[in-house]
């Protein structure tokens, strides 16, 4: 399932970036592509473009032979109820109250480092529940919700997308490493603090070229997991986990 926009439809954004050559692909506002991340990957691999949107992106996926589905495929009972709650809460003038009452996020991200030192990042989302028709978040914006560079790190973000766009968070973290020589934990913390200062919230999963990782967030929790090549793995939700 995916979170639903104000019209009760799922409109999906996704992006993929390869740190080896800074190649990237993204799609935004698609309605029919079953696995949006595959379409983002195909944009990167098979076209000179970086970002395709709405019907053009849906059509591209069909041409690439990717699976398509009816929009209702993404609509679950849980997301419909969430939309109804968010719609009634949007009458509330106090934005803080609105934010603390209902979670509106639903993004999946992944960062990886292979044995050849190649970093990559993928991010996929339905965006924010009750989002405006036509709204695009940070996820398909390279450098905001997604970034990978073999010289620095790979980043995938989740949270209130507008703040991640305005702070160019994923690229900001990479730049803090590149220009200030900060480690991955320091860099993610600084960048997320800037988001918080502007009134935004969210988190990132981050992996540097040495395999050090950070999973920082300024929300109550963030579903997250990490696995290394020796088979060690860990999954967590809250800060204290």
Which residues are designated catalytic? 107
Which one among 127, 141, 146, 187 touches ligand ASP, defined by CB under 6 A? 127
Which one among 36, 137, 143, 200 touches ligand ASP, defined by CB under 6 A? 137
Whole-angstrom CA distances from 235 to 145, 154, 156, 224 are: 22, 19, 17, 6
Rounded CA gap, 118 and 39, in Å? 21
Would you say 125 or 130 has its CB closer to ligand ASP?
125
User: Residue 115 Cβ, how far from ligand ASP at the closest point, in Å?
Assistant: 30
Helix (H, G, I), strand (E, B) or coil at 153: strand
Report which of 110, 70, 104 is spatially closest to residue 219, judged by C-alpha positions.
104
Report which of 240, 213, 231, 2 is spatially closest to residue 110, judged by C-alpha positions.
213
Q: How do beta strands 51-53 and 233-238 pair?
A: unpaired
Would you say 29 or 161 has its CB closer to ligand ASP?
161
128 binds ligand ASP (CB under 6 A): yes
Which one among 105, 147, 213, 217 touches ligand ASP, defined by CB under 6 A? 105
Which one among 138, 172, 208, 216 touches ligand ASP, defined by CB under 6 A? 138
Q: Where does this chain touch ligand ASP (CB under 6 A) — which range of 35-43, 89-97, 136-144, 167-175?
A: 136-144
Task: Tell me if 119 sits within 8 A of 149, measured CB to CB.
Answer: yes
Size of interface with ligand ASP, in residues (CB under 6 A): 13
Which one among 24, 39, 139, 168 touches ligand ASP, defined by CB under 6 A? 139
- What DSSP assignment string belongs to 110-132? EEEE-TTS-EEEEEEE--STTBP
What number of residues does the chain have? 241
107 binds ligand ASP (CB under 6 A): yes
Interface positions with ligand ASP (CB under 6 A): 105-107, 125, 127-128, 137-139, 145, 158-159, 161
């Amino acid at each position: 399932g995916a979170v639903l926009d104000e019209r009760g439809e799922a409109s999906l954004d996704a992006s993929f970036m390869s740190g080896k050559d800074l190649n990237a692909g993204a799609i935004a506002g698609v309605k029919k592509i079953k696995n949006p991340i595959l379409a983002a990957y195909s944009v990167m691999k098979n076209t000179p473009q970086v970002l395709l949107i709405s019907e053009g992106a849906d059509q591209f996926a069909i041409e690439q032979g990717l699976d398509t589905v009816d929009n209702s495929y993404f609509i679950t009972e849980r997301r419909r109820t969430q939309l109804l709650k968010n719609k009634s809460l949007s009458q509330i003038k106090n934005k803080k109250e609105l934010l603390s009452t209902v979670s509106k996020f639903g993004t999946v991200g992944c960062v990886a480092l292979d044995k050849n030192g190649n970093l990559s990042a993928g991010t996929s989302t339905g965006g924010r529940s009750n989002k405006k028709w036509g709204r695009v978040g940070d996820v398909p914006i390279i450098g905001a919700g997604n970034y990978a560079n073999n010289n620095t790190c790979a980043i995938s973000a989740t949270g209130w997308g507008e703040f991640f766009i305005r702070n160019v968070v994923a690229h900001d973290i990479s730049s803090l490493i590149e220009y200030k020589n900060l480690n991955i934990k320091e860099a993610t913390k600084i960048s997320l603090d800037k988001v918080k200062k502007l009134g935004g919230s969210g988190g990132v999963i981050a992996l540097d070229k040495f395999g050090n990782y950070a999973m920082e967030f300024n929300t109550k929790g963030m579903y997250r997991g990490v696995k290394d090549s020796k088979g060690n793995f860990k999954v967590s939700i809250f800060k204290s986990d």
